[in-house]
Every structure is written in C-alpha cells, then in structure tokens.
Chain A
C-alpha cells in the first residue's frame, strides 16, 4: 500500500483548503451550537427531552447528523465526481497507486474530518455550556462510525451514478438540506407537526440522530435495535452498490 499515508495527508490538507467544505463541517455545527446554546442555555428540561438534559446536551449528538450528512452528501459526491470529471482520477490510474489504496485514503480522510468536526463540537459544548453525557464513549464512537460508514457509502454511490460534479452538487443539496431539518439533526423533531414527524421515519438521517442521541442519553443498544439495523443495512447495501457502480473515468 505504497503512497497510502502520503495520499491521506495530502487529501486532508486539500479538504481544509476548500473554504466551503471547511466551513460546513468544522465551523457551521459549532456556530449553531453557540447560537442556540446562548438563546436557550443548557438547563435540564425533562418536560421537553423526557429526561434530565438541556438543549446543548441534546443538540451535540443531533449535530453529529449534520456533520456526517454534510461530509457524506456534499463533500464526498462533489469531490469524487470532480476528481473523476476533471481527470484527476485518470492521472492516478496512470501510476502504480492501487485503487484500494485510493479508496482507503479517501474514506479515512472523510472520517477524520467528521471526527474532527465532532471533537470541536464536544469541546465547545463542554467548555462553554458544561455538556452532559450519560452514555459510554466507546458506544457513542461505534454508533458514529456505523452512521458515517452508512452515509459515506451513499455519498460514493451518488458520486458513481451522477454524470458530472454539478449534478452531484445539486443531488447532494436536494437530499441533504430537507433531511437536515426533517430528521431531528438541525432542530428537534418535537417541534415539527405530526405529519412531518411521520415523514422523518423514511429519512435515513433520522436513524443517525436516534442512535447517537439515544446512546448519548444513556439508552442501551438493545433499545436502539431499529436505528442500528437500518444503518447497518444501508452500510452493507450502499457499500455493495457503490463498489459495483464506482467509475474511475
């Protein structure tokens, strides 16, 4: 796997050099947290959350959905389709770099970016609002990885199916932005009318929020079997389809 580490660090730097990508994954979720944190504070509100947690405590795991969604549905399809369309992938194909090495580096970079976005969010929440976590870190991390894996596979699938980077951008936005607000990631589902809450059951991002937020509040995995199965299913099916449809040129 020669070149893997160099490619990883290079792609990481390239990601950070794109102001828009940088903003949406590393700055935007934290901005939202600061905004709503200062408006609502982080006093426990059992009447709203059903247990002893405040707005910030509930928002941080929900925003994990925003981070995963932006990286997977905006970052991955646009970057990958651009690299294919402009001939960057072709240039790599003219070297001994193995396709597997390219894919591993690519997935690892997006994962690292998503984890970095999440880390910033947790640190800001902790330092400024005294963020509370009832669940265990390994469980939350595992849920985050499964969710990211499921959504990344969808991102690569979109990248494989679209003809151009422009189309990738449009499709990514059309899927992501409504889902952000209807899944509980951008705002609590309790604020939505009942019909829209029904719609949320059909959106995959809803299950990311359910799983991570549930574990965050200290729920056991066996009470979260539904989102776990949905996300694991998407991960398997998405990976199989993305691998099948992936094109280098």
Chain B
C-alpha cells in the first residue's frame, strides 16, 4: 500500500495573515521513517506550514493528511499518535521536570515510561529541578522529551536547536538520529543550513511561502554543479638544512601539472596560495598525488565543498541570513 509509506501529505497549502501570504501553495510528501527538513530564512513560512500540519492553525486552502488523518477533524486522534515540539511554548516556572513528564504522560492513552527517556536526554539528575532553573538547552531537551512521551509515529520539531550552544545542538542531533533508528518519522524546520545538511534525509527549501527546491541534501548540492575548492600554500623558497648546510632546492610549483588532471576546471595562483576548482570524487586524491610525485612542498591544504547555503544563494540570490 502506497498510503502506508506516506506519513505526511500536503497539497496546495495556503495560509494568509490579513493580506500577507505566509504560505503560498506548498505541496510535498514525507515518507515514513525519514527525517524531512523544511529549511528557509526566518519569516519564510516554515512555522506556519508545520503548525497547519500539526492542526495548531487552520489553513486557508489546501489539503493536509497526517497518518491519513485530517489535522482539524481528527485533532485529538492525531495528538495521540504525533509528538509536537513547538517553537514558542512554555511550562509553568515552578513545575519540576519530573512533574511535567508525569503530567503530560497522563494526557495520553499509551504513554511510555519517561524515566529512561530522561536518562537518554541527560536530564536524569534534573528530575526535581524547576523548569525555570533549567538552561536553554535543558529546557529544549525537556520539550523533546514531552514530544516523545506517547511513543509517537511522527514527531514535529520546530526550530529545535535555535539559540543552543554547539554542544547542546550535537546532543539533540544525536537524539533525532536515534529516533529515526527506532522507526519514527521526523519532520523538522530549521534556518540552519548545516543542520539540515547533516541531519535530514530530504529537505524542502522554502522561501517567501513557496517550496523552491526539494531533494536530498547531496542531490541538491550536486545539481548545483558548483565546484569543490582545494586550496593550499606552496613554498618555492629553499629551506636551510642542518648545520647551516645548503638545503635541498625546492621544486617550483607549475599550475599546468594540476590543471591537466581529470575533473579540474581551473587553477588560480596568488603568490603562495593556490586554489584548484573542480568536481568528482577523486579530485582531492589526484591533486595530492600529483603534488607528491612532483616533489612540490605544500601546506595548509583545505577543501571547501559547496553546501546548502550555496544552493539557497544560487536559487534566491540571497544568503539565508539576509
């Protein structure tokens, strides 16, 4: 059955606020068991889209099915089977972590045991701590725990690592991957391109309420046809040998040696700094092998891959931050 493999289906979704089109005809499907990310700048319509899918907002036009259910008509049934982490939500200041989990567990037909969940989120020692005393990262992890307390089939995570330090972000990423291992479908939104790239099986790039690209991050970047950049410094000076003896004279770098390699598009040299533009999986090893065999001394080699940021820039002519 094809239907069973689709977790979320959105067709022609539109949502207006007064005269502003927040979401302007969005269509996509999320397969069961995948991590699907909606990426775009702030104000692009991500949160409105996810909240319409969750049933938190009512769409003006279009159809939405989550696990075959209508988010408005089957509001409560959907909540039994989904986990929701909202971008802006809160708990009472003086509610303890353990109390929050205990309370939210009581809202569901079949809650899971929340103690192991707390353990997995490194919050086990915080059980008796008030919500207001948790750090931002800990609060966010608690909200993730609340979203998982009913063993959901689909989890919605809206901007879940915004404002977190790198360590906390990595912990949350590990957790999301773990959820997927256990067969949960994950729908997330983020304005961090690196997060989408590292975490998602598929991403939809959204801008001004419209999906402008949708594929796996590798394909999106690959389709861009942008070159990988390899840069390094060559040293053409002689290096003094031991005891003041005359050093070995260096081999002078000749750009043409690298330029003729398979996959290389162009080579630029500016003083000591050489940049090689090209494509293909073996690009890096070819360049290094050539340098080694010719005896050229090089250092500070680094490669820069095109990424989703470049995809966004190429599609919109803007960086995501602007």
Contact = CB atoms under 8 A, between A and B. Distances in A.
Interface in A83-126: 83, 86-88, 90-91, 93-98
Interface in A1-33: 2-3, 5-7, 10, 13-14, 17-18
B55 to A, nearest CB: 9
Contacts of B86: 87, 90-91, 94
Given A14-B94, A87-B86, A87-B90, A94 B103 contact: no
B28 interface: no
B103 A86 contact: no
B70 interface: no
B89 A90 contact: yes
A7 B92 contact: no
Contacts of A2: 106-109
Q: Chain A's interface: helix, strand, loop or mixed, by majority?
A: helix
B201 interface: no
Contacts of B107: 2-3, 95-97
Nearest to A14: B92
A95 B89 contact: no
A98 B77 CA distance: 12
A87 B87 CA distance: 10
Contacts of B84: 94-95
Contact of B103 (A10, A83, A98): A10
B99 interface: yes
Contacts of B104: 95
A3 B89 contact: no
Q: Which of B56, B79, B92, B146 has the most CB of A within 10 A?
A: B92
Interface in B90-120: 90-92, 94-95, 99, 102-104, 106-109
A14 B95 contact: yes
Given A3-B107, A96-B108, A97-B107, A10 B89 contact: no
B95 A91 contact: no
Contact of A94 (B56, B102, B106): B56
Contacts of A94: 54, 56, 79, 84, 86, 89
Interface of B: 54, 56, 76, 79-80, 84, 86, 88-92, 94-95, 99, 102-104, 106-109, 146
15 contacts: A2-B107, A3-B106, A3-B107, A6-B102, A10-B95, A10-B103, A86-B90, A88-B89, A88-B92, A90-B88, A91-B90, A94-B56, A95-B79, A95-B108, A96-B80
Given A90-B89, A96-B109, A98-B76, 16 more contacts: A2-B106, A2-B107, A2-B108, A6-B103, A7-B103, A10-B99, A86-B90, A88-B90, A88-B92, A90-B88, A93-B56, A94-B54, A94-B79, A94-B86, A94-B89, A95-B84
